[in-house]
Amino acid sequence: MTNKKIGVLVSGRGSNFQAVLDKIRNEKLPIEIAVVISDSADAYALKRAEQAGIPHTAIVRHDYRDKASFEEAIDSRLREAGVELVVLAGFMRILSADFVNRWPQAIINIHPALLPAFKGLDAQGQALKYGVKIAGCTVHFVDAGMDSGPIILQSAVPVYDEDTHDTLAARILVQEHTILPEAVKLWCEGRLEVRDRRVKIRKE
């Protein structure tokens, strides 16, 4: 079986990227991380990629005249690497509709909330402020909206009275490290079918 090639976009520590890499290696999945791209040259995720022997590069927004040329550079690098699925693993920039439309149902994102609640930045803080008793995370296909694409997987965690932003974020992150790699696996196995807004997961 030919390996499916994925590209990972990151902005920071890269713990979700590491979780995907660990699942691929531990389960010997026919998936290759063909390239890791960060919008920050200082992202620790690039160090992780280097240590793992994975091609990696920084494509920094201020090096380009506008958002279109910045995204064109990312798109070109992904295609050069033969990427079939783009995984946003803590990528802190909103991709334009033009970029997203080049990758129909081939970009997935992890968001630290139970969508459609608490879209956008600081979802954990939003959840605490609202006073919810259950929080969690969502893997979804990326569309032209803000955290609005079809939902692939979700995982819930309790919110405790004594929670701070950091304790809740840490509890959610544990679940992110489970469902993002699983969603990558499901996509690469061809088991995800989108019907309107619903994602059906085919049995093996």
CA 76 to chain centre: 19
165 a catalytic residue: no
Task: Report cis status (omega within 30 of 0) of the bond before 104.
Answer: no
**What single-letter amino acid sits at 3?**
N
List 56, 62, 111, 165, catalytic entry:
111
- How far is it between the farthest Cα atoms of the chain? 49
Q: Which two tokens stand for residue 181?
A: 């790699």
H or E element, residue 88: strand 85-88
Question: Do residues 73 and 61 lie in contact, with contact meaning Cβ atoms separated by under 8 Å?
Answer: no
The residues annotated as belonging to the active site are 111
